[in-house]
Every structure is written in C-alpha cells, then in structure tokens.
Amino acid sequence: MILVIIIVCIISTIISSSSSSEITNSTNLPQAIIIGVKKCGTRALLKFLSIHPAIAASSTEIHFFDSPKNFQLGLDWYRNQMPIVKNNQYLTIEKTPHYFIDRQTPARIFHLLPEVKLILILRDPIIRAISDYVQIKSRHEFYPTFDEFISMKNFTRWTPIKIGCYVIYLRRWLKYFPLERIHFVDGENLIQRPWQELEYVQQFLNISNHIQQEHFYFNSNKRGFPCVKQPNGCLGTSKGRQHPLISEKTREILKNLYSTCNQQFKQLAQINFSWL
Ligand code: A3P
C-alpha cells in the first residue's frame, strides 16, 4: 500500500512539474510594440515598463517586420523570440526602433497583428540627431564634427537628420492604424519625470498604475539620468552619452528645418509636447 502511495506521489510530481515547465517556457506574440523612434529613449522606456508585474519585455530588438531574412521565418519564429512569460505576466512587449521608418512594417504589422497597440517615443529632433551622430561617431576613429555635417551641401539627406521629420513616417502608419492605437511618449519628459510618462503608458495599455515615482532615482554618475531602484537599474554605457556642443548657426539651421515638420506632426498626432 505504502509503495502504491509513493508511486502515485512520484507520478503526480512528474506530471505537475512537466506541466509547470510548459507554462514557464511559453512565449506570446506581443500585445504592444515600441516602434521607435531610434535615440529617443526606447531602451529606457522598455526597461521602466518591465518593472510592471504584468509585463514581459523582450531584452533584444527582434527586427522581425523590417528584416526580409527574419520575416520569411514566419510568425512562429517571431513568437519564439519573445521573452518567456513568468507568473502573472500577461502582456508581452518588444521594441525595434527601426520599425518606425521602415516602409514595409506598418502593413506587415497590420496584417499579422491587427489588434496590437503601438507606442512611439519622440524627442526634440535636434537632440535626437546629435544623439544619433554620437552613436555613429563612437564606431569611427576619424569622423567630421556635427557642425561640419550640417555645413555640407546635401545634409538634409543624411539619415540622422532625415529621421527627425517624424511626420513623414507617421503618415505611413496612419494608413493602417487609427490614431487611438498609437500612444506618443514625450522622450524629454521621460528623462525629467519618468513616472508621469509611465502613468500615461500604463493607462494606454489598460494595466494597473504600478510604476510610481518611488521606483526611480536620478543618478549623478549617469549624468543625472533616471535609474530604477534595483540592481543594474541604470542603462548601460551606450546610453546617456556626452553630447558635443553645436554652434548657434547649426542650431538655427536645424530649428528652421524642423519647424514645419514639428508643426505638421503636432497637428497630425494631436499632441502638444513642449519642444514641438
Ligand atoms: P544619448 O546616449 O545620446 O544621451 P535609445 O534607447 O532609443 O537608443 O535612446 C538613447 C537615448 O535615451 C540616450 O541618448 C539618452 O539621452 C536617452 N535616455 C532617456 N532616458 C535615459 C536613461 N534613464 N538613461 C540613459 N539614457 C536615457
């Protein structure tokens, strides 16, 4: 009799452990995607969102919709790239900033994930351009200064400058998604008051307002950027880099260049961030 009880216990333990490992190994397609914009704080936003107990956030950029090689691997491949869902996590999020400017991505997301929520973080396009420049320069030993780039004849065709005219790309997304499906995050405010931007995102995602001011501190060793009060709570060294000073002339040129783009973006997106 005792032997029978022991065998029953062992079998039920095996069954329960195999079914629980099935649960812990499962991944879901994302219900929300941070689609961009590159150098506007996409990593910080995803890191901060991952504090929420309901959220499973991908640690890498998946590049499914914008890469022909990945896209042909299919939706099951995409699902397998997602983070494993733990405990009470029911909302999977990935971020790939290149999606915003990729021509094919809006239609592809619309056809494969028609219900997905889209999050777009933006910042002052002049600061974004400098940030992009600093990242590219970090990979080159000899590189012209930012001012030198802006004095070149075709500087408006230079990608770090082109991306900042956000309205061009937004128009493409609005051919497939209604405005209500896109949430705009102010990347400048995410640096000053991250909890405020997170409150709006949590509302948009329809999840509890879990992420609060007490989750953050401002780190003077990290140039004053906000970090999360947890081990490895700051972003890595490739985020929050020192920016070069730019001349007043360069600033004026870029201000003029972006003023129409910003105005049109503001109207189309129906938002009013201070820097717009
Ligand atoms: P810099 O490194 O040029 O300052 P992304 O993650 O989209 O590539 O954006 C990177 C930018 O996010 C950084 O650009 C930085 O300005 C900004 N950022 C916003 N919040 C941050 C944070 N808490 N820590 C570090 N960088 C942050």
Per run of 10 residues, the mean pLDDT along the chain (length 276 residues) is 52 43 75 98 98 97 98 98 94 98 98 98 98 97 96 96 98 98 98 98 98 98 96 96 97 98 98 94
Distances (CA, A) of 119 to 3, 15, 96, 147: 58, 40, 11, 32
Q: How far is 164 from 107, CA to CA, in rounded Å? A: 22
pLDDT of residue 24: 56
Task: State the pTM of this model.
Answer: 0.91
Distances (CA, A) of 163 to 159, 186, 268: 6, 16, 17
pLDDT of residue 126: 98
pLDDT of residue 178: 98
Q: What is the CATH number of domain 25-269?
A: 3.40.50.300
Residues in contact with ligand 1 (CB, 6 Å cut-off): 38-44, 97, 131, 134, 190-191, 225-226, 235, 239-241
Q: List, by residue number, the catalytic residues.
A: 39
Nearest CA to ligand 1 atom 19: 41
Check if the beta carbon of residue 12 is closer than 8 Å to that of residue 72.
no
Residues 6+ apart with CB under 8 A from 126: 164, 251, 254, 255, 258
Token digits of residue 201? 């995102």
- H or E, element range at 190: helix 187-192
Q: Is 39 annotated as a binding residue?
A: yes
DSSP state of 218: E
Q: Is 237 annotated as a binding residue?
A: no
pLDDT of residue 25: 79
132 CB burial (10 A radius; 0-12, 13-18, 19+): buried
Ranges of beta strands (E only) in the chain are: 32-36, 55-57, 91-95, 117-122, 182-186, 216-219, 225-228
